Amino acid sequence: MGKIEKGITIISPSYTKPGLLLKGFRFPFLTGAQIAACASQYPYRIMDENIELLDWEKIENSDLVAISLMTVNAPRAYRIADQTRAMGIPVVLGGSHASMLPREAIQHADAVVIGEAEQTWPKLLRDFEHNNLQKFYKNEHLIDPATIPFPRRDLLSDKYNFSAMQLTRGCPYNCYFCSVSRLFGKKYRTRPITHILEELKQIISQEKISWWRKGMGKVWKELKKPVVIFLDDNIFGRPSYAKELFRKLIPFKFLWGSQSTMNIGQDEEALELAAESGCRALFIGLESINPTTLKEMGKNQNKTEFYEQTIQKLHKYGISVITAFIFGADSDSKEVFKRTVDFAKRIKADLAQFTILTPLPGTKLMEIWEKAKRIISKDWSLYDFGRPVAKPLNMTIEELEKGTQWAWKKFYSLESMLIKRFPLNDWQWMKNFQTSPQTALLRLLFYGGANRVFRKQIKRHLAFQESQS
């Protein structure tokens, strides 16, 4: 410990087998860039093991190593931390898993940061330089979003497919399987729109558009527009803010995607503004088609009677929908798989994610299942949402695992992709094509490309899971 001269290395450990992720799944490690921005005067390098192998020579040549971990990559993070400390380099751990289980994390680290870094990271580095590193660092209060500095994107690899940005923190809901409101509070905190526009200006001016997109963009303008993903849990958490934001995004002429709750579908003005500002895809956690299951999950904001209408409305505005479903709740029986896949196909979800209900540390679900002694494994590497780690109530463990795998395969089968959900087979798409052919064609391109990538990724992932079991 002492002076920081050689630099700080920030690492995102692999959350799956290295090399397993296809190009389309490369999300920028914005967390690393954000941490560096919190104390920008120090020298940094960022390594994302999800896109390239770790450079151990550079790790060895660091004054300090900081690692961000979720639950699924905690074992990998701990191995990296142990190996780094064995070389005599101090390690700091942070992120969702370390924040929920700091006492576990400290066994592999010199310090653990609980929660957001904006206040604690500069203090930790000052303490480090004064040989006074504490074991735990925790914010006194939630960070005022107006004080969040722009991430140091200059430190990120250029291997990512798109740019990412965070506009809000926190979530007013408390779904029993989710850790977001426990991690970032129930208050929905929004960054000032002026800051967002300024940051966006920087991103767009630096965005590198590939030669083929530039070329094709001469005739198909949508293709040459920069793409930004807003890594928010709910872009529509406060409708008035969202609408004001969308309005101000329009002049930027870029394309964006994010996550939203389904209430956006009930607000025609918001949909119109979102589409006009460049929104082309939204990820929506429908979770279940059974109201009893939604109640069990505490997901009271989802109303099954509006599911189909919401998807139709989004499609009307040329916005693709990635729906997410969860299997394994107590009210789920083994009929849930077929019923859900049929439903997702019928409502013409462009993409769908099927995961197994997983009790993340710090969630209400973990509390309930621990009390009921239903957890069968605390090997965190299995917490990838594709493997059962607790006993389901109305089916066997094997039925849950095989049923989920069946859902993925069925939804992404060629037959399902081409016949049942092909946008050309969709009257709304035909209508869109007449009024706005470029946007409609983009949805078709997204549909074809994303489904192809998902099909391939699923095959790889299932083979990997098989090889491990």
**400 and 391 in contact (C-beta within 8 Å)?**
no
30 lies in the site for ligand B12, by CB under 6 A: yes
Quick one: what does residue 156 bind among ligand SF4, ligand B12, none, with the CB cut-off 5 to 8 Å set by partner type? none
Residue 181 binds ligand SF4, judged by CB under 6 A: yes
Q: Residue 117 touches which of ligand B12, ligand SF4, none (CB < 5 to 8 A by kind)?
A: ligand B12
The yes or no reply on residue 263 touching ligand SF4 (CB under 6 A) is: no
The interface with ligand SF4 within residues 65-84 (CB under 6 A) comprises none
29 binds ligand B12 (CB under 6 A): yes
By beta carbon distance, the residue nearest ligand B12 is 94
Q: Is 216 or 450 the residue whose CB approaches ligand B12 more closely? A: 450
Cα torsion at 304, 385, 78, 457 (round to 10°)? -110
* Residue 173 interacts with, from ligand SF4, ligand B12, none (CB under 5-8 Å by kind): ligand SF4
User: If contact means CB under 5 to 8 A according to the sort of partner, which of ligand SF4, ligand B12, none does residue 293 touch?
Assistant: none
131 vs 90: CA distance, rounded Å? 12
Establish if 94 lies at the interface with ligand B12 (CB under 6 A): yes
From ligand B12, ligand SF4, none, interface partner of 166 (C-beta below 5 to 8 A by class) = ligand B12
**CA distance from start to end of the chain:** 42
Are 101 and 46 spatial neighbours (Cβ–Cβ below 8 Å)?
Answer: no
354 touches which of ligand SF4, ligand B12, none (CB within 5 to 8 A by kind)?
none
Q: Does the protein bind ligand B12 through residue 464 (CB under 6 A)?
A: no
Q: Is 95 in the site for ligand B12 (CB under 6 A)?
A: yes
Which of the choices ligand B12, ligand SF4, none does residue 181 contact, using the CB cut-off of 5 to 8 A by kind?
ligand SF4
SS (H, E, C) the chain: CCCCCCCEEEEECCCCCCCCCCHHHCCCCHHHHHHHHHCCCCCEEEEECCCCCCCHHHHHCCCEEEEECCCCCHHHHHHHHHHHHHCCCCEEEECHHHHHCHHHHHHHCCEEEECCCCCHHHHHHHHHHCCCCCCEEECCCCCCHHHCCCCCHHHCCCCCCCEEECCEECCCCCCCCCCHHHHHCCCCEECCHHHHHHHHHHHHHHCCCCHHHHHHCCCCHHHHCCEEEECCCCCCCCHHHHHHHHHHHHHHCCEEEEEECHHHHHCHHHHHHHHHCCEEEEEEEEECCCHHHHHHHCCCCCCHHHHHHHHHHHHHCCCEEEEEEEECCCCCCCCHHHHHHHHHHHCCCCEEEEEECCCCCCCHHHHHHHHCCCECCCCHHHCCCCCCCECCCCCCHHHHHHHHHHHHHHHCCHHHHHHHCCHHHCHHHHHHHHHCHHHHHHHHHHHHHHHHHHHHHHHHHHHHHHHHC
Q: Is 113 in the site for ligand B12 (CB under 6 A)?
A: yes
The nearest distance, CB 397 to ligand B12, in angstroms, is: 19
| Closer residue to ligand B12, CB minimum distance, 91 or 440 | 91
- The answer to whether residue 329 forms part of the interface with ligand SF4 (CB under 6 A) is no
Q: How far is Cα 266 from Cα 249, in angstroms, rounded to an integer?
A: 21
Which segment (77-85, 87-95, 173-181, 354-362) binds ligand SF4 by CB under 6 A? Answer: 173-181
Bridge partners of 229, per DSSP, are 164, 257
Residues 221-240 as x/- pattern, contact with ligand B12 by CB under 6 A: ----------x-x-------
Quote the least distance from Cβ 422 to ligand B12, whole Å: 26
One of 4, 39, 64, 70 touching ligand B12 (CB under 6 A) = 70
Q: Find which of ligand SF4, ligand B12, none residue 21 binds, CB within 5 to 8 Å per kind.
A: none
Please identify, using beta-carbon distances, which residue of 16 and 181 lies nearer to ligand SF4: 181
Contact between 184 and 77 under an 8 Å Cβ cutoff? The reply is: no
Residue 173 sits in the site that holds ligand SF4 (CB under 6 A): yes
Residue 70, both tokens? 């979720």
Q: Is 302 in the site for ligand SF4 (CB under 6 A)?
A: no
> What residue number has its CB nearest to ligand SF4?
178
Compose the 283-322 pattern: x for residues touching ligand B12 by CB under 6 A, - for all others: ----------------------------------------
What string marks each residue from 213 to 242 as x (binds ligand SF4 by CB under 6 A) or -?
--------------------xx--------
Rg (CA), the chain: 22
**Interaction partner, residue 34 (ligand B12, ligand SF4, none; CB < 5-8 Å by kind):** ligand B12
Binding residues for ligand B12 (CB under 6 A):
12, 15-16, 27, 29-31, 34-35, 66-68, 70-72, 92-97, 100, 113, 116-118, 121, 166, 178-180, 184, 231, 233, 355, 360-361, 384-385
Binding residues for ligand SF4 (CB under 6 A):
171, 173-175, 178, 180-181, 233-234, 261, 285
